[in-house]
Amino acid sequence: MLEEINQAEREALEALEAVGSNDELQAWRSLHLGKKSQLKQQLKNLGRLSPEERPVVGKRTHEIRQRLEASLDARRDELEAARIEASLAAEALDVTMPGRPVRRGRLHVSTRTLRRIYAIWAEMGFQVYRSRDVESDEYNFQLLNFPRHHPAREMQDTFHTTTDDVLLRTHTSPGQIRVMRENAFDADGTPRADPDPIRVILPGMCYRYEQITARSEIQFNQVEGLAVGRRIRMSDLKGTLTDFARRMFGQDTRTRFRCSHFPFTEPSAEMDIECFLCGGEGCRVCKHAGWLEILGCGMVHPVVLANGGYDPTVYSGFAFGMGPERIAMLRHGIEDIRQFWANDLRFLEQF
């Protein structure tokens, strides 16, 4: 009898050595310590033993149970320790390895140029006014003195929508009318007696139905500017725009104004800056002219002032329009305007 239970103990301990997982541990437990285990059977059968044998076998059975239980706990601890060790080994961190660089995004070169332009105009007291991308023919052309079928419209090939007279703005100039009207009229449409003077810039995307080439894109930014008030003169335009050019391109920048024509300004001009690359000597960027064309400008046409609700016999103003992409191309020597919206990281990461 004793021999049998000692044998059972040896077998159980041996089996425990082979146990490798928690599930196996559970199985081992019910096999060797559970209700149907040999040990439990033995205890049930104690009654059949002789009075001399009974206490000896009983005591031994009890000892074995305690030993198996202790071994079970020890094995469970071992398994847990092994599991932790394995997972630590698997997840080991080498804290001496160099870190992975975090790839930082950056602002698009157009956004950077725009922000520089906003900052300069803000210093000069111009507020940013946002106007809409989808415009009516009336605002984009008619109120700016481009009558229907006027040949000047051909300078700005237009994306029309499927709705009559609704189009994507071809320039930011229609915003001029919107700002003026917002200032010149009350919400119910009554004209104000003495509307406030205006000093704003109107930045935004413009769209033209053009062939895309290295020099022309179907979408591009413009920054429009408008100053309206009493006794604003051409000299204010020249002084203000020259000041802008110096802040943007350097204090020694020279400017020149050339006559031009826009339907919404009279007189109209284009401003050139002396080429910052060659200092006026002539180079590839300025095409050997020594000058770079930066913007269009002029005194707001009386018809446009009147369309905006400002009496042209009392008020005057100047306006200008510049292309941040063009400025960025000149500043950074970018040769192909298609780069701006091509989303090529090799290009974008250079700024």
Residue with tokens 């930045």: 203
Contact between 337 and ligand DAH by CB under 6 A: the answer reads no
Cα separation, 212 vs 204, whole angstroms: 19
Cα separation, 241 vs 238, whole angstroms: 5
Cβ closer to ligand DAH: 203 or 298? Answer: 298
Cα separation, 181 vs 188, whole angstroms: 12
Q: 318 near 298, Cβ under 8 Å?
A: yes
Determine which helix (DSSP H) or strand (DSSP E) holds 84, and give its type and residue range.
helix 53-90
Q: How many residues bind ligand DAH (CB under 6 A)?
A: 11
When binding is defined by CB under 6 A, the residue of 113, 173, 221, 255 that contacts ligand DAH is 173
Cβ closer to ligand DAH: 153 or 246? Answer: 153
When binding is defined by CB under 6 A, the residue of 308, 321, 327, 334 that contacts ligand DAH is 321
When binding is defined by CB under 6 A, the residue of 227, 319, 327, 330 that contacts ligand DAH is 319
Question: What does the block give as tokens for 285?
Answer: 């960027």
Site for ligand DAH in 18-47 (CB under 6 A): none
Cβ closer to ligand DAH: 79 or 120? Answer: 120
Contact between 265 and ligand DAH by CB under 6 A: the answer reads yes
Contact between 327 and ligand DAH by CB under 6 A: the answer reads no
Q: Which stretch binds ligand DAH (CB under 6 A): 209-217, 228-236, 295-303, 331-339?
A: 295-303
Question: What does the block give as tokens for 264?
Answer: 């919404």
When binding is defined by CB under 6 A, the residue of 126, 129, 244, 320 that contacts ligand DAH is 320
Count of alpha carbons within 13 angstroms of residue 186, beta-carbon side: 6
Beta bridge partners of residue 265, listed in sequence order: 300
The residues near 250 (Cβ < 8 Å, ≥ 6 apart) are: 276
Determine which helix (DSSP H) or strand (DSSP E) holds 28, and give its type and residue range.
helix 22-32
Contact between 298 and ligand DAH by CB under 6 A: the answer reads yes
Work out how close the CB of 281 gets to ligand DAH at its nearest, in angstroms, rounded to a whole number.
28
The residues near 294 (Cβ < 8 Å, ≥ 6 apart) are: 245, 271, 272, 273, 322, 326, 327
**Measured at CB, which residue is nearest to ligand DAH?**
321
Q: 170 near 156, Cβ under 8 Å?
A: yes
Please name the residue ranges forming H helices in 263-340: 302-307, 324-332
Beta bridge partners of residue 256, listed in sequence order: 272
Contact between 121 and ligand DAH by CB under 6 A: the answer reads no
Cα separation, 46 vs 53, whole angstroms: 9
Work out how close the CB of 171 gets to ligand DAH at its nearest, in angstroms, rounded to a whole number.
3
Q: What's the N-to-C CA distance of the chain in angstroms?
A: 90
Cβ closer to ligand DAH: 82 or 212? Answer: 212
Would you give the binding string for ligand DAH spanning residues 200-239, x where CB under 6 A is met? ------------------------x---------------
Q: Which stretch binds ligand DAH (CB under 6 A): 109-117, 179-187, 188-196, 318-326?
A: 318-326
When binding is defined by CB under 6 A, the residue of 28, 207, 262, 291 that contacts ligand DAH is 262
Work out how close the CB of 293 gets to ligand DAH at its nearest, in angstroms, rounded to a whole number.
11
When binding is defined by CB under 6 A, the residue of 296, 308, 309, 317 that contacts ligand DAH is 296
Task: Report the interface residues with ligand DAH, using CB under 6 A.
Answer: 171, 173, 224, 262, 265, 296-298, 319-321
